[in-house]
Structure 1
Amino acid sequence: MKAEIDMNKRFTTFLLAAAWILVLSGGCQQKPARVYRVAYMSPNSASMMENTNQAADSGSVEAVEYPVETAEASNTANAGGGETAASPAPAAEVTNAVYVPTAEYLTVADVQAMGPASQEYHVDAGDVLQLKIDQLLQLDREEVVAAEVDRLGQIYLPLLNHVAVAGLTCEQIRNELVLRLGKDYIREPKVDVSIKEYGSKKVMVMGMVRQPGAVALETDNATLLDVITKAGGITAGAGVDVEILRGAYDPAKEKDLPGGSAGGPSAAFGPATKRELVPVARLLAEDGGTVNPIIYPGDIVNVPLDGNGYIYLSGEVKQPGAKPFRRTLNLLQAMSCAGGPTRNAAEKKCKIIRRTADGGEQVLVVNLEDIKKGKEQNIVLAQNDTIVVPGDPVKIFLNGVNDLFRRGVFAGVRMEYDAAQDMGIPSDGGYGGGY
């Protein structure tokens, strides 16, 4: 009995000394989490983060910023003859950020609520009209005039000077010209009005289509399938979804940037009011479940490449590394793919790192515990996102001491068992037989 008491005292002293050595040696200090860095890829159907300050200023939770390179960034990168590129912007840490849901899949009901596509065309700035007017300049001659609608929504005609036509159809313009010419200049005027060049209602089609670029609508709006058809159709290698960015394209600004085009930096791209996804299979369905939404002037249609890509998990997760990214993967699903957090994880300080178009990084700090409880919204991830789960120093220390204690207890049980054998005390032949 005395030998057993002495042995327990020695073990307790050993345990305390080991814990103290562990603290002094820094063995419980948090190691920096490994971050898998990847090259920036062009945005596709994945969701984008919104800057907290922008969300606070606008007061809106639906605005989505489409990350495209601006003219200023392009000029900075090409400064000095193009020999030196602009340094990437430092990571901006965002705390208590309001996450903006950036994508939603359209349903048949959503499309039905939009109503049918327009069959009319209302003229506006940028259109070119073709006017055929008898006796405009000569009594025995029909004059054919090409008149462009200016920024004020007017055209210029001999005799009539400036005529406001913005917002009118060709038939309404014809009636207006007949009325004004017949009143003061021509007896029973004959007038024909048609559109020579459509230019006021444009959408941008990007990605895996045969003819990417700006598409001029020939009606006030058009269906998604009609727009893709005008762009030459979808090519091989396209993804499973078509992305629609509402109101993110302003062709008037594109003129301010020489050489601006769909494939490069352009001032014509801006924040979208909404982001929608349409599965290609539903767009082409013939079973009554077709999802063919209306596309309006200023929308962007993006057909992404069929590249699911990866997300990257590091830090205190059970299975860190690259995980396949498929469609709308959220944070909790990604954590499940990595086996979940370890017992040392600081779940309240989980970070999502996302590349920005200017080469910098955005960091969103989220609380995994609150997301699991439904107190915070589950984050929808984007392709190439990096998730870092840091360690909690307190948990690391306590779990380390606990592990050390367990190993010590196990060793003590073995020592007691061996002592019993030496003393000739009968045993059941297994560890811990003395208890």
Structure 2
Amino acid sequence: MKRLLGLLFAGLSLSAALMEAHAQTFNTRIGPTEESLGEGDARAKEDKNASQIKDAPAKNPATGAGIISADTTANKAAATTGAAKGGESAAPAAASVFAPAAASTRAPVASSLPPTAIYRVGVGDVLDVRLLNGVSRESTLFTVSTGGLLDYPLAGEPFLAAGMTADEIAAHLSAELRRRAVNDRAQFRVSVREYVSHTVMVSGLVEQPGAKIMRREAVPLFVVLAEALPRAEAARATIISRSNGLSRTIELIDSPALNELVAAGDVVNVTARQAEYLYIGGQISSPGRKDFHAGLTLTQAILASGGVRFDAKSKVKVVISRQGADGRLVPTEYVLKDIETGKVPDPRLLPGDRIEVGRRR
């Protein structure tokens, strides 16, 4: 019996030795598991993973592509690096890729956009401010107060919002909540609910004069006129700039000029056409004073006067005399045939021009 027990004990000891040797071989091939790491080793491994995430190169913003946020890009790079090395765990980095990305505090560069594409908040505007990842997503309305201040309680003291775009305000609020440790991942969406601050005043020969509210920093003149509805006798619009006090007059029949930009605070006055004339004489069927309008050319003036009185157009010369700044007339001679055949441009006329039609020698 004693001999049997001795053999059994020896067999158990041999099995234990074999299991220990197998475990050592397994650990040598695979590496220690997370559970087998001591506290110091585990902390060293976490520091190593963090270093991989920090040092992973992000894509160049100048080249464009695919950068959602700096955190997400770095985590993806770290996960790829860890997987390639084989002996290092990439799990912590991979988990970070799928975590919610921190809200960007960098607003779009509004200064690089044209004034017709942006709107800067002003006094009286009502803003719809939403904290997307807060306790409640209900819309909350805030009015930009006198002095251009916006009072959002969670962001601390009121701040100057006038002159900022909605995106810039959202970025500012997100940064303030993170700085104050109110919400480390605050994400805001800000939009203008009621436009109040940007207006242009329209007066004169229009059906609907008064203040017109703008939803951009500037709009083309034709947009303002479409809302004011010019009357039939309206012929020109004078824009008085708020920024420099200068005025410029636009003829309503000049379509390209109607793209002239009108900014907030400008004044637009719509008036009738003032009587302007030019004078034509010589070998013409109906000489005399003719009404002038913007864009009138030489050939149009000749046709409006009944045309030349002889057929040999190759022998027709036309002299336009225009008064200079010193009061002296400056003559310019044209050959009618060259204009009609496209060899030279058809000259545009100005009010007060004197046109003399005759034969070439």
What is the TM-score of this pair, normalised by structure 1?
0.35
Report 1 or 2 for greater relative contact order, CA contacts < 8 Å, sequence distance ≥ 6: 1
Q: Larger % of helix: which?
A: 2
Structure with greater Cα Rg? 2
